[in-house]
Amino acid sequence: MIIIQLKGGLGNQMFQYALYRELIHRGRTVKIDDETGFVNDKLRVPVLDRFGVEYERATRDEIVKMTDSRMDIFSRIRRKLTGRKTYRIDEQEGIFDPKILEVEDAYLVGYWQSEKYFPTPEVARLIQETFGKRPQEIMHDSVSWSTLQQIECCESVSIHVRRTDYLDAEHINIHNLCSEQYYKNAISLVRQKYPNAVFFIFTDDKEWCKEHFKGHNFINVELQEGENSDVADLLLMSRCKHHIIANSSFSWWSAWLNDAPEKMIIAPEKWINNKRMDDIYTDRMTKVALQ
């Protein structure tokens, strides 16, 4: 049996679910632990159900068995004498590890942020269908529909700006902030090929964006807050023709879900500070310096 620990925000959970589908396609018995990864993360919860996603949940006994974490006195003594006999595998780097697709018994802890973890075309199509929802399944307000119409009627480019949580003490030394210069350089690259581009800005820092992106061809997307507003944001971003993404799995997925062959994707050349992330980049991405 393989158990995948669900953790992180929406984009990270999408990567973990994609690996889940790939391993099932390869004939493994796979379940998801959607409790343990959120015990010490009070800001996040399992959210895949917002896409209507269902998966088989691991039981507490199955998780305990795979991680050798029984707390009875005999198990604790045995572990002290002989060590823990765990099937837990922790992702060490953001580099694709082909052995993950070959394991038979494992408790997998990581983000698995690469399309190389779901390389099978049938699985990729399934993921596209699962997360690339029809608008009427997600969007139930006039602002979302109006924004979608604007996106579909022009040379639309999504710009994702993520700032607020990357500025807090826990993340500031790990995540790189995409600077104003990064966005200026990315916008310039897009305009060289598409001079009539219209930029739709999706952000958690609206005031910063209003200050730095001005003009008639910049549109700040401001949806009504609700349970599915993050999914609506991702869907609208994916419907843009081109993408300027942040170092965020959220905007990574918005660009990946757009299967248009002519799309441009601009991505920051350094993703994160504490590990290598070579395989998060796809062949379709153009890397641009952060500064």
176 pLDDT more than 70: yes
C-alpha–C-alpha distance, residues 38 and 29, integer Å? 23
CA separation (Å) from 1 to 113, 189, 224?
22, 47, 42
188 pLDDT more than 90: yes
C-alpha–C-alpha distance, residues 246 and 178, integer Å? 7
Least reliable range by pLDDT among 83-87, 99-103, 182-186, 251-255:
83-87
- What's residue 82's pLDDT? 59
Q: What are phi and psi of 217, to 5 degrees?
A: -95, 15
| Mean pLDDT, residues 25-37 taken together | 97
pLDDT, one tens digit per residue, over 263-285 is 999 999 999 888 899 999 999 99
Rama region for 52: left / alpha / beta (φ>0; ψ in -120 to 50; rest): left
74 pLDDT more than 60: no
| Mean pLDDT, residues 212-229 taken together | 86
- What's residue 126's pLDDT? 97
- What's residue 272's pLDDT? 87
226 pLDDT more than 90: no
| Mean pLDDT, residues 156-171 taken together | 77
| Mean pLDDT, residues 220-226 taken together | 83
C-alpha–C-alpha distance, residues 53 and 117, integer Å? 19
pLDDT, one tens digit per residue, over 120-145 is 999 999 999 999 988 888 888 888 99
1 pLDDT more than 90: yes
Q: How many CB atoms lie within 10 A of CB 268?
A: 25
Q: Which two tokens stand for residue 274?
A: 């504490």
- What's residue 86's pLDDT? 84
